[in-house]
Structure 1
Amino acid sequence: MRFPAGLVDSGLVLVALAGLLGGGAAWLAGRAELAPLAWTAGTLPVLLALLWQIAVTLRRGEVGLDVVAALAMGSALLLGETLAGNVVALMHAGGQLLEQVAERRARRDLTALLGRVARTAMRHGPAGLTEVDIDMLLPGDRILVRQGEVLPVDGRVQHGSATIDTSALTGEPLPRQMDGGSEVLSGTVSMGPPFDLLVLRPASASAYAGVVRLVEAAHRARAPAARLADRWAMGFSALTVALALVAWRWSGDPVRALAVLVVATPGPLILAVPVAIISGISRAARLGVLVKGGEALEALGRARIAILDKTGTLTLGRAELAATEAAPGFDPDEILRLAASLDQASTHVLAATLLEAARARGLTLSEPEAVIEEIGAGLAGRVGGHDVVLGGDRFVRARITGMPPRPDDGDALIQVGIDGRHAGLLRLQDPLHPDAAGLLARLRKVGFTRILLVTGDRADVARAVAAGLPLDEVRAELSPADKVALVLEERRAGPVLMVGDGVNDAPALAAADVGVAMGARGGAASAESADIVVLVDRLDRLADAVEVAHGTARIALQSVVAGLGLSVAGMLVAALGYLPPVAGALFQEAIDVAVILNALRALRL
């Protein structure tokens, strides 16, 4: 039977405390000969548990500062300094328990996500409302969402409006008003009157299911006690043992060596680094960013080269009607009305864009007739007594007269012909994200020396998007393999951050030192390949995550340097004979508490 780590640590603290108090009571009662037995009994269980832990880590090929703690307790018992050994045992067990408490506090914002998963939903059916398991919901089902309920699946608001608290996914403090037809994500909460939700995706493919999977992956990741501690532990352990031997040889008193070992136990490296990193991961989660482990956060803090995908990262990732340009004799609104009316019969992805634009202008659409569509090229038909054709240059030019050359300005264009004449064009754009310039400025501020924009789109489109942005280079018309090659090329100059959102970005995200996916959509390949996932397509949250990573690394280093500096100073004082073992143990515990409290500052970054 395996007991939880927190329960074991609590038990060891109680054993060590009982031994310390028992020995003290015996000494006060005039039974001084019993005190060493009680202090030994309070030390041995902690020492045995520590030796087992050391054996486990040695089998993994790892050596840590726990060896110093074991040497201190073992030496104390051998030298008859049982009180010092019991104090060290209590401080070590207490430090381990304190670390567990600090980690639990830091993980609170991650684990809170898991408790919000809805299990059932009220589905409309022929027999009325029926409560069903969320795994039974299918796209097209209609469910009732009541006030205070967590949305179980991704869906679209039906009729009227809904008041939604999105803080669990986006960090937005205020609820949002979502009109009918708006898409809402699972894991958010209804704060207003009940409303009907049209299911868009099964529960297993919903946004919140993806979030939960990523949280669970973060919990399963290697404990980030992390590489900073691993790099310094051996050196500090060697310094401790060497100084203890020198003190013993110089003074001829083995208690001096014991005092040195006690002051170095258990060491800020064991406690400060993991607490700081877990605190940073927790803070990022509160900001709507999921980090899959401590190594990912460390890598984000080290990155100095950023490669940003265009579509869905620096741009919003959706087409919008930017302008309607009419030829002489034609009205722009009428061009849009006829084009949108014809597009009612199309399944093309841009048809929805034109329909949305026409409805936003309050245009009345007509019924299309005799529609012929050439997939990917255009469509033609009759609308309100007019022959209408729209689509790409070649498709439209073959069916009308007088069509001018295509403008070469980087925008996506839909040509429109009416009654055999060129009527004008519809100019579409993927708008630049409003936070794009701010993101790039913040990346420069925290130390990124090179920022690249990459895209599989045309070069003219990429140049239009990049105009005016502080970018070092723009690379266009790249395949997924080209993006991977670019990442590997840039890695020669330093650690690379890759940011993307599409399936085609997944290989590059995996190849980078740290990959960031914009938006979690179920099992999307980009989210699975990335080390970090921004849960909504908000660029300011990416900048926040970078700043949290830098702040966490700074706090962890501060804790380690300050803690080790104080420990080394205490070890020197102990080596000179001015700090006995018991006082040294208390001094080290004060250091440990200080570095843990400092590491927890990462929660407020």
Structure 2
Amino acid sequence: MPRNPADQLKTALLLIALAGLLAGLALWGQPAAPLAWQAATLPVLAALVVEILRSLARGEVGLDILAALSMSAALAFGEPLAASVVAVMYSGGTFLESFASARARAEMEALLTRVPRTATRHKDGALEDIPLDAIRPGDLLLIAQGATVPVDGTLASPMAMLDTSALTGEPLPRRLSQGQATMSGVTNAGEAFDLTATRAAADSTYAGILRMVQAAGAAKAPMARLADRWSLGFLGLSLAIAGAAWGLTGDPVRAVAVLVVATPCPLILAVPVALVAGLSRAAQLGVLIKGAAALEAMARIHTLILDKTGTLTEGRPQITAIHVLDGGDAAGVLRVAAALDQASTHPMAQAIVAEARARGLVLPLPEQVQEFAGEGVAGRVDGQDVLVGGEAFVAARTGRQLALAGVEPGAVTVSVAVGGKTAGRLVMADPLRKGVGPLLRHLREGGIARIVLATGDRAAVAARLTEGLGLTAVHADLTPAGKLALVAEERARGPVMMVGDGVNDAPALAAADVGVAMGARGAAASAEAADVVLLVDRLEPLAGGLTVARRARAIALQSVAAGIGLSLLGQVAAAFGLLSPVQGALAQEAIDVAVILNALRALRIKV
């Protein structure tokens, strides 16, 4: 159930309207029945008038005015049952809208993890946990393995391995030496290390990015409700019909009947029903859309901007080639390297082990393992001395330096030595996700006019990776501010969708018409800034989500058109005296049922 005060009020109004309508029907023919209907209508009418005044103060005119006029006129001219029916229909529509938003909020709270709010500081030879806002420049902090660096600082330990992909887009860990600067928001991919803070948390890189997210979100114009876009014309026509019926016949009850039939319940109800059904269908596909406005915006996307690391690519190192020397065996080189790396927690070591197991290789247990942080691992496998590590690490111990020919931009190499001789090397890179090419073609066929890459990685890496994909444009070496500027530039051409997973993507996600975050492994900041979260670590559901958005919006528009057409026919009948206000309310109920049944087709959208 909705939990914030505004949503709770909408729920209460619906319950009051329903209770009053049913109580009046139970008291049919008794003097208390009209009182029950009036008592149930007045709270809904009062809340509606307050909302209309707020909308008018913002310069907005919506179909809510018709609902208020019909309820007021029905009460004023002695038709409380008709007023009560309108109150139920109107409060039901607003409840459905709030229900969709509340459900999205609840699912997001269950999905997202929050950024740690504490840090560990050295003090008087001991460690203490302190809140982030208590960190001061000069504090010596302990950054545990796997922890996020909380503030900007300089490395106080001899060496550290950092996963900077969330900020820079570099998929492979970086090795930093003592005295080098590091930014907040990156992750410790190696052993624990000490960091000397150079800035307070509020002044650090991560906090600056979050401020950009807030500013970008505030600058994005809110979506108007789809039904309100029809409001002025429908409102004017309905008032004209009601005025003509009263003026030509002198019977105000005919005008009341016209207004009751004109009450835009099909629009107020059918549109949120279609969009909520679309939200549910998208969620079944692994696409969490945060509300009906985001679903509407998805249906109109012109340009798609994709981040590279973790979005277009897997976002983790994988073996792309194995080079062997002196007629060696590639599987054998991989086997001994993976066997030794079983003793290491380094992300690249874990990737090597995962690849070997995926190939079905049996890995013996290593012996006498010695790890040299940030450089490599030494030990014995099957009774032989084995070295696995960087080119310099292995060359220094074997006396043989391998040429780097044939290594593509952005790749790193891991040398392997067996029995004191270099046996080969493993080439590791962050490859494209499987099926990216067909997916991009499918998106173009679905109506996306421009597909653009935006990455913080190097231009050479981006160019090599996207070769043959037919992208409209490739932008590399982008900072978070650069991605934000790119979104603004592309929005001048049409509605923009931005897809990313890192902290550096969060401002652009917030600024885009629709921001899409990779929720399975992406940063919490990006998921919170986004309008849409992919619940699986794949891009394929995005195409299905776009199809659902387009079809749900089309169904909503069909319902709007049908509702307006049927309502106009009913208004004409009421103007000629063929429908009383109560009959008009019942006719409106029949129209509601028809358009809602049509709207529910969004639950069965095929992709």
Flag the 1:383–1:10 CA change in 2: closer, same or farther, 3 A: closer
Contact kept, 8 Å, 2:339 with 2:363, in 1: the verdict is: no
- Tell me how far apart the structure 1 counterparts of residues 581 and 223 of structure 2 sit (CA, whole Å): 28
Contact kept, 8 Å, 2:71 with 2:86, in 1: the verdict is: no
Q: What are the within-5 Å matches in structure 2 for residues 278-293 of structure 1?
A: 278-293=276-291
1:133 is matched with none
Secondary structure of the residue aligned to 1:352 is helix
Query: Is 1:56 aligned to 2:50, yes or no?
Result: yes
1:562 is matched with 562
Deviations 1:402-447 (A, max 9, x none): 6334324344432445677654321224343234234323322321
2:263 is matched with 265
What is the identity, as a one-letter code, of the residue corresponding to 1:352?
Q
What is the identity, as a one-letter code, of the residue corresponding to 1:92?
V
Cα RMSD, aligned residues only:
3.8
- Tell me how far apart the structure 2 counterparts of residues 523 and 361 of structure 1 sit (CA, whole Å): 33
Deviations 1:297-346 (A, max 9, x none): 22222222111122222322222223322122434344334444554565
2:535 is matched with 535
- Tell me how far apart the structure 1 counterparts of residues 110 and 452 of structure 2 sit (CA, whole Å): 38
What is the identity, as a one-letter code, of the residue corresponding to 2:498?
M
* C-alpha deviation, 1:448, in angstroms: 0.6
Query: Is 1:65 aligned to 2:63, yes or no?
Result: yes
2:405 is matched with 406
What is the identity, as a one-letter code, of the residue corresponding to 1:550?
R
* C-alpha deviation, 1:381, in angstroms: 4.4
Contact kept, 8 Å, 1:484 with 1:507, in 2: the verdict is: yes
2:548 is matched with 548
What is the identity, as a one-letter code, of the residue corresponding to 1:15?
G
- Tell me how far apart the structure 1 counterparts of residues 387 and 26 of structure 2 sit (CA, whole Å): 92
2:511 is matched with 511
- Tell me how far apart the structure 1 counterparts of residues 16 and 65 of structure 2 sit (CA, whole Å): 21
Contact kept, 8 Å, 2:503 with 2:523, in 1: the verdict is: no
Q: What are the within-5 Å matches in structure 2 for residues 485-500 of structure 1?
A: 485-500=485-500
* C-alpha deviation, 1:550, in angstroms: 1.3
2:17 is matched with 12
- Tell me how far apart the structure 2 counterparts of residues 523 and 458 of structure 1 sit (CA, whole Å): 21
Contact kept, 8 Å, 2:574 with 2:580, in 1: the verdict is: yes
- Tell me how far apart the structure 2 counterparts of residues 402 and 521 of structure 1 sit (CA, whole Å): 37
Contact kept, 8 Å, 2:257 with 2:579, in 1: the verdict is: yes
* C-alpha deviation, 1:524, in angstroms: 1.7
2:575 is matched with 575
1:367 is matched with 367
- Tell me how far apart the structure 2 counterparts of residues 371 and 261 of structure 1 sit (CA, whole Å): 81
Contact kept, 8 Å, 2:335 with 2:362, in 1: the verdict is: no
Contact kept, 8 Å, 1:314 with 1:433, in 2: the verdict is: yes
1:379 is matched with 376
* C-alpha deviation, 1:364, in angstroms: 3.1
Secondary structure of the residue aligned to 1:95 is helix
Contact kept, 8 Å, 2:500 with 2:517, in 1: the verdict is: yes
- Tell me how far apart the structure 1 counterparts of residues 545 and 427 of structure 2 sit (CA, whole Å): 35
Q: What are the within-5 Å matches in structure 2 for residues 16-35 of structure 1?
A: 16-19=21-24, 22=27, 25=29
Query: Is 1:44 aligned to 2:38, yes or no?
Result: yes
* C-alpha deviation, 1:109, in angstroms: 8.2
Deviations 1:507-565 (A, max 9, x none): 22122111111124597222122111111112222222212211221111111111012
Q: What are the within-5 Å matches in structure 2 for residues 357-506 of structure 1?
A: 357-359=355-357, 360-364=360-364, 366-368=366-368, 372-373=372-373, 375=374, 378-379=375-376, 381=378, 383=380, 390-393=388-391, 400-401=399-400, 403-410=402-409, 411-416=411-416, 422-506=422-506
Secondary structure of the residue aligned to 1:324 is strand
Secondary structure of the residue aligned to 2:425 is strand
* C-alpha deviation, 1:451, in angstroms: 0.9
Deviations 1:87-129 (A, max 9, x none): 4124214424754896799799879979999xxxxxxxxxxxx
Secondary structure of the residue aligned to 1:61 is helix
Secondary structure of the residue aligned to 2:533 is strand
Q: Which moved more, 1:486-495 or 1:572-581?
A: 572-581
Contact kept, 8 Å, 2:376 with 2:390, in 1: the verdict is: no
What is the identity, as a one-letter code, of the residue corresponding to 1:336?
L
1:297 is matched with 295
2:126 is matched with none
Identity value in percent: 50
2:205 is matched with none
* C-alpha deviation, 1:500, in angstroms: 1.3
Secondary structure of the residue aligned to 2:362 is coil
- Tell me how far apart the structure 1 counterparts of residues 339 and 96 of structure 2 sit (CA, whole Å): 61
Q: Which moved more, 1:249-258 or 1:540-549?
A: 249-258
Contact kept, 8 Å, 2:520 with 2:537, in 1: the verdict is: no
- Tell me how far apart the structure 2 counterparts of residues 10 and 369 of structure 1 sit (CA, whole Å): 69
What is the identity, as a one-letter code, of the residue corresponding to 2:17?
L
Query: Is 1:351 aligned to 2:349, yes or no?
Result: yes
- Tell me how far apart the structure 1 counterparts of residues 354 and 24 of structure 2 sit (CA, whole Å): 75
Flag the 1:579–1:337 CA change in 2: closer, same or farther, 3 A: closer
Secondary structure of the residue aligned to 1:414 is strand
Runs of 5+ consecutive residues of structure 1 not aligned to the other structure: 27-36, 118-223
What is the identity, as a one-letter code, of the residue corresponding to 2:433?
H
Q: What are the within-5 Å matches in structure 2 for residues 44-443 of structure 1?
A: 44-61=38-55, 64-79=62-77, 82=78, 85-96=79-90, 99=93, 227-340=225-338, 343=341, 346-359=344-357, 360-364=360-364, 366-368=366-368, 372-373=372-373, 375=374, 378-379=375-376, 381=378, 383=380, 390-393=388-391, 400-401=399-400, 403-410=402-409, 411-416=411-416, 422-443=422-443
- Tell me how far apart the structure 2 counterparts of residues 462 and 60 of structure 1 sit (CA, whole Å): 49
What is the identity, as a one-letter code, of the residue corresponding to 1:547?
T
* C-alpha deviation, 1:40, in angstroms: 4.1
Deviations 1:242-298 (A, max 9, x none): 332233333444333223212212432221222222222222223332222222222
What is the identity, as a one-letter code, of the residue corresponding to 2:376?
L
1:30 is matched with none
* C-alpha deviation, 1:450, in angstroms: 0.7
Runs of 5+ consecutive residues of structure 2 not aligned to the other structure: 112-221
What is the identity, as a one-letter code, of the residue corresponding to 1:407?
G
- Tell me how far apart the structure 1 counterparts of residues 315 and 71 of structure 2 sit (CA, whole Å): 61
Contact kept, 8 Å, 1:502 with 1:526, in 2: the verdict is: yes
Flag the 1:232–1:103 CA change in 2: closer, same or farther, 3 A: closer
* C-alpha deviation, 1:603, in angstroms: 2.1
Flag the 1:56–1:405 CA change in 2: closer, same or farther, 3 A: same
Flag the 1:586–1:478 CA change in 2: closer, same or farther, 3 A: same
TM-score between both structures, scaled by the size of structure 2: 0.69
2:122 is matched with none
Contact kept, 8 Å, 1:335 with 1:416, in 2: the verdict is: yes
Contact kept, 8 Å, 2:521 with 2:537, in 1: the verdict is: no
Secondary structure of the residue aligned to 1:407 is coil
Contact kept, 8 Å, 2:227 with 2:271, in 1: the verdict is: yes
- Tell me how far apart the structure 1 counterparts of residues 519 and 558 of structure 2 sit (CA, whole Å): 33
Q: Which moved more, 1:495-504 or 1:381-390?
A: 381-390
- Tell me how far apart the structure 2 counterparts of residues 314 and 116 of structure 1 sit (CA, whole Å): 26
